[in-house]
Chains A and B, each alone.
Chain A
Amino acid sequence: MATVKLTNVKKIYPGSVNATVHDFNLDIADKEFIVFVGPSGCGKSTTLRMVAGLEDISGGTVEIDGEVVNDLQPKDRHISMVFQNYALYPHLTVYENIAFPLRLQKNPKMSQDEIYERVTNAAQILGITQYLTRKPKALSGGQRQRVAIGRAMVKDCKVFLMDEPLSNLDAKLRNQMRAEIILLRKRINTTFIYVTHDQTEAMTLGDRIVCMKDGYIMQVGTPTELFDWPANLFVAQFIGAPMMNTIKTELTKEGNKYYVSPFGYKLEVTGDKGKLLNDRKVEPKEIYLGVRPEHVTLVKEGAKNGFPVTILVNEMMGSEYHLHVQTEDGTKLVVRIPTINLSEEERAKMVAGEVIHVAFEGKAMHFFDIETEYNLLTDNQYHAEDDPETPIKSNEAESELPAETSPVEEPKAEEKAEEAKPEEASKEEAPAEEKKEEKEEAKKE
């Protein structure tokens, strides 16, 4: 149990000019579960590995429990770590794998009885008691990951590090293990740092989430903060599935009321968002309007703020439809419609080519500056403002296709691909910095 403090932490790989992690500052409280999330190559794994002592720190300091650990070996940092590829010792049985860190303990050396007690206790918690005599190759992916967690949890550690522990598992097992990690966290009750590229894992597990891009922190906050008040367009689009719809539009003001005019319709910004725009005296200008697919609702024709859209693709998810629709001016949106309240007649209309009416309220709107892509209603900006290389801009915005949410780009489609080829997917998701290192290595070879 300990605090972790990262101050101006920087990582530049040998032979590389650009930093992989730029001035990373973060205070992690005792017993907090913090999640680093971001796309491949954003530096999340590198940061975790710097905390673990598996990567040298190019600049700044890492403190664990108030002690600067920059020059300490991993074994002296009182950490435990679960690796993406399990990293189980193939020549040892499950029992010996879990007992491995205990057997290495010196001063005082642990007795066989205590080792036995700890190992069997961990195995019981993780439900792997019956596999203790097996070798890792005789276990399934989920069982192997449990063993890896068991090996990490038997040790008395101050910080528990997890580097994409669920990435190699199939979707179903991943959901199951996610729930088990929540339970495990309650049991172990220590400081957790968890790395993932999966925003669902980040949202469900983290007390706070650190959203990263290209080595910069984009936002730090609770899952709710990141979801409801994304600091910029990148966070807005990264958190939430399907991805937030963004529409380039004009923010106008008439008296005290603000309006946006997407797809040729004039919609009033009602509720708190309108009030906030007023309070912050936001100047009318061109903006990116963000609306989450789940905040777009099905309405009757002629309803306030409603507008017609044509269904392009309907993805039936069971409890909801994911509709890929097109407005009259050609803008593409994604809409999530729960199926539970739909009548048979309404369901029958949810097919490609049909025209339906949808609407979104003012409270569902997010407003992003067209230049900086910052949220106009939040204060916290986590980038270095004076650094011209700060990659605050989202790729989608750069491509000038904010609302062109193609069905194949949907996270759901990615999930399906992962489900079909979990190993390949995990390879693709390997941190880009590792790939970079491998490339350099290959070049050297």
Chain B
Amino acid sequence: MADKKSMSMSKKRRIGNIVTYVVLILVSVIWILPFVFLVLQSFRTENTGIVNYVFPHQWGFDNYIFLFSAETNFLQWYFNTFIIALFVCVLQTAMQFMMSYTLSRFRFKLRKPLMNVMLVLGMFPGFLTMIVLYQVLKAVGLTGDNAVPGLILVSVASSGMGYYVSKGFLDTLPKSLDEAARVDGATRMEIFFKVILPLCKPILIYTVLTSFMGPWGDYIFASVIALGSETGLNVAAGLYTWLGQSMISNNFTHFCAGGVIVAIPVMVLFMFLQKYYVEGVTGGAVKG
């Protein structure tokens, strides 16, 4: 009797597992298929347009070679994107961290209203400000061909808004560490750089990654701010121009190769910082 019961239990569990795995596999396939397709198409050399098969008939690096040739602005777009991402990454991380530290450690008038205002403002999608920002940047000459500094400015100016995650992490660090350092003779600056910052390595990495990836994959702002310019575009906006009706038959495989190239720096960054990234998301509870 008991054997029968345990048998049916294990059978049920096995069926449950099978169903779960089938669903997971299906979801994984659906998720990964576009990437596989993109990579495969980037090596297709028989023609450059859209085809109705996945595996190329002829393989080669022609599409990649084309990207680095003088025929396209791809390198310019790539360089633009890299510069924007790099500056935003550094400046945004620094500003966001200073903001988080201030809000976590200092008590000052209007601190709470400031946090509330930023929370409310953060709820509005960023692109709502696009038209106004375009006008402002245009007035100072930071659109079109000069879109790169304009895009850096747009991203960096709103850096402080993303303070929540790192403030949450900083809040978990015991304040007695700051106090101990103060008694030991450290200035506020020394406390920040010698005590707090090294402890925030995981969340710092997280902030670096998110700050880098934001402008790296940005399409909306880049296409608006660089409107009318071929050379001021970033890589996402630039590649998208190849998908226009008149361009797609000549550039689809180039677009795919460009997509692969775009993914490389992010992949490298992720692989390099993955360990810290995971720790950064989950390691907030670790205390001194």
Residues of A at the B interface (CB closer than 8 Å) are 52-54, 73-75, 79-81, 83-85, 87-91, 100-101, 104-105, 136, 151, 155, 444-445
Q: Which of B180, B185, B199 contacts A87 (CB 8 A)?
A: B180
Residue of A with least CB distance to B176 = A87
- Among A88, A91, A445, chain B packs the most CB atoms within 10 A around the CB of A91
- A54 and B182 contacting across the interface, CB-CB below 8 Å: yes
A136 and B176 in contact, given A75-B186, A104-B185 (Cβ under 8 angstroms): no
- A85 and B183 contacting across the interface, CB-CB below 8 Å: no
Docked pose: A251 CA to B180 CA in angstroms: 53
- B288 and A90 contacting across the interface, CB-CB below 8 Å: yes
Please give the distance in Å from A15's CB to the nearest CB on chain B. 11
B112 contacts the other chain (CB 8 A): yes
- B182 and A75 contacting across the interface, CB-CB below 8 Å: yes
A87 and B182 in contact, given A104-B190, A136-B288, A444-B112 (Cβ under 8 angstroms): no
- A88 and B288 contacting across the interface, CB-CB below 8 Å: yes
Please give the distance in Å from A77's CB to the nearest CB on chain B. 8
By a CB distance below 8 angstroms, the chain B residues around A151 are: 180, 184
Please give the distance in Å from A416's CB to the nearest CB on chain B. 27
B46 contacts the other chain (CB 8 A): no
- B174 and A87 contacting across the interface, CB-CB below 8 Å: yes
By a CB distance below 8 angstroms, the chain A residues around B288 are: 87-90, 136
Please give the distance in Å from A156's CB to the nearest CB on chain B. 11
B125 contacts the other chain (CB 8 A): no
Residue-by-residue, is B10-53 near A (CB-CB < 8 Å gives 1, otherwise 0)?
A: 00000000000000000000000000000000000000000000
B263 contacts the other chain (CB 8 A): no
Docked pose: A54 CA to B180 CA in angstroms: 10
By a CB distance below 8 angstroms, the chain A residues around B176 are: 83-85, 87
**B-side interface residues, number (CB < 8 Å):** 19
**Those 8 A-B pairs whose CB atoms lie nearest each other, nearest first:** A101-B184, A87-B180, A87-B176, A90-B288, A104-B185, A75-B185, A91-B198, A81-B183
Question: What are 30 contact pairs spanning A and B, CB under 8 A?
Answer: A52-B179, A52-B183, A53-B183, A54-B179, A54-B183, A74-B179, A75-B182, A75-B186, A80-B183, A83-B176, A83-B179, A87-B174, A87-B180, A87-B288, A88-B180, A88-B288, A89-B181, A89-B288, A90-B199, A100-B181, A101-B183, A101-B185, A104-B185, A104-B186, A104-B190, A105-B185, A136-B288, A155-B185, A444-B112, A445-B112
By a CB distance below 8 angstroms, the chain A residues around B243 are: none
By a CB distance below 8 angstroms, the chain B residues around A89 are: 177, 180-181, 195, 199, 288
Docked pose: A238 CA to B216 CA in angstroms: 66
Residue of B with least CB distance to A73 = B182
Docked pose: A52 CA to B174 CA in angstroms: 18
Residue of B with least CB distance to A163 = B176
Please give the distance in Å from A48's CB to the nearest CB on chain B. 11
